[in-house]
């Protein structure tokens, strides 16, 4: 029997805070550069990387040795 979590978990708060901070900084930098769209686009790209890094950090298989994994898998 597997347990599935639905809804807002405690770990999502850290990701949401980080994403909001990244987008705020993107908007600020976009306004400084005079190109708001570029700042938002840059923030979106960084946010995707932030999501992958955060979820990887929270992963349940940290330290698992897999000899077939060459690092290309997410």
Q: What is the pLDDT of residue 52?
A: 79
Full residue range of the structural domain in which residue 45 is found: 23-57
In a domain, 67, yes or no: no
Q: What is the pLDDT of residue 32?
A: 92
In a domain, 4, yes or no: no
Q: What is the pLDDT of residue 67?
A: 66
Query: Is the overall model pTM greater than 0.75, yes or no?
Result: no
Identify the segments of the chain with pLDDT beneath 50.
Answer: 1
In a domain, 13, yes or no: no
In a domain, 5, yes or no: no
In a domain, 40, yes or no: yes
Which spans in the chain are helix H? 10-33, 36-57
Q: What is the pLDDT of residue 8?
A: 64
In a domain, 62, yes or no: no
In a domain, 38, yes or no: yes
Q: Which two tokens stand for residue 68?
A: 């077939």
In sequence order, which residues have a C-beta less than 8 Å from that of residue 54 and are 6 or more positions away?
Answer: 14, 15, 18
Q: How many domains does the chain have?
A: 1
In a domain, 10, yes or no: no
């Amino acid at each position: 029997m597997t347990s599935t979590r639905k809804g807002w978990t405690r770990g999502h708060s850290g990701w949401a805070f980080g994403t909001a901070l990244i987008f705020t900084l993107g908007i600020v930098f976009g306004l400084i550069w005079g190109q708001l769209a570029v700042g938002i686009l840059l923030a979106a790209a960084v946010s995707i990387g932030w999501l992958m890094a955060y979820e990887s950090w929270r992963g349940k298989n940290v330290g698992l040795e897999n000899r077939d994994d060459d690092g290309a898998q997410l």
